[in-house]
Amino acid sequence: MGAPERIVIASRASTLALWQSGHVQAQLRQLYPACDVTILAMSTRGDEILDRSLAKIGGKGLFVKELENALTAGKADIAVHSMKDVPMVLPDGFAIAAIMERADPRDVFVSNRYPALAALPSGARVGTSSLRREAQLRARFSSIHVLPLRGNVQTRLAKLDAGQFDGVILAAAGLQRLGLDARITAVLSPEESLPAPGQGALGIECLQARQDLIDAVAPLASRDTTQAVRSERAVSRALGGSCQMPLGAYAVFESDALRLRACVAMADGRRLVQAEAIGPADAPESLGDAVAAKLRAQGADAIIAAMAT
């Protein structure tokens, strides 16, 4: 089946989201020069509600829902997401048609005053939008104040530059994609801050019934990234996978096998459990389920239950 004559990409309207959609647009144009590939920029509730944490207003799915509505209504053909924002269970009728090669999946520390997290004085103010990052920060540095930080990348950096924070934690990929590498003060290793499932990877979503689109975007997929992200998402799915759950999961290839590490923590950092396993890359969900079982054996369910109250 040939490529569609026209592909409309639904995208959030932030600078970073438009970069991501533009990246997909450029690759599709290269693959299919005769195809008219355009971007439909949309505002989402997740972008509009900035005075409350994501966990309190419904989770990261708020960044996805409006784009899915555009697919259902026929206003767009595909949607481009950061995989870390995609709910662990898709609504009926939708499919992730391709997961692209991953950029840097790590978190980074950005500060105008301090060279590293370990250099922060007692009482320092660190901003993050993520319960996962907050929990891991508090577990390592009990003397700092972790404060909510919402908004797009530029907004968060502006708040740092205005002196509202001593440092902020952001995703490496976002800064790199926007050409803001110079703002990175220190890259945090997965041992210091385990990334979110799917962090650094872009996913292309479409309606499950659009086999023409699934076929058209298939060449953009990365097998290795897809297997790794599937295993990470399986951990979260097995544990109930909500935005209210501070969970990190990160898989890397070791020869032909996947090594998957994951953690679950209380937001205050007082309890943090970790687990890892190695398994065949062609069974990523089974590996994710195995790591989730190890976390459960250490009390992950009790942590998750406490977070839900």
Q: Which active-site residues does the annotation give?
A: 85
Question: What's the order of all strands across the beta sheet hosting 272-280?
Answer: 247-254, 257-265, 272-280
Identify the H or E element spanning 187. Answer: strand 186-187
Tokens of 37: 């590939």
Say what angle helices 284-297 and 223-238 make with each other, to 10 degrees.
30
State the residue for tokens 């996805």. Answer: 64
Q: With CA atoms as reference, report the closest residue to 206 among 92, 71, 88.
A: 71
DSSP symbol at 218: G
Q: Is 255 exposed, middle or buried (0-12, 13-18, 19+ CB in 10 A)?
A: exposed
**106 contacts 248 by C-beta, under 8 angstroms:** no
**121 contacts 102 by C-beta, under 8 angstroms:** no
**58 contacts 72 by C-beta, under 8 angstroms:** no
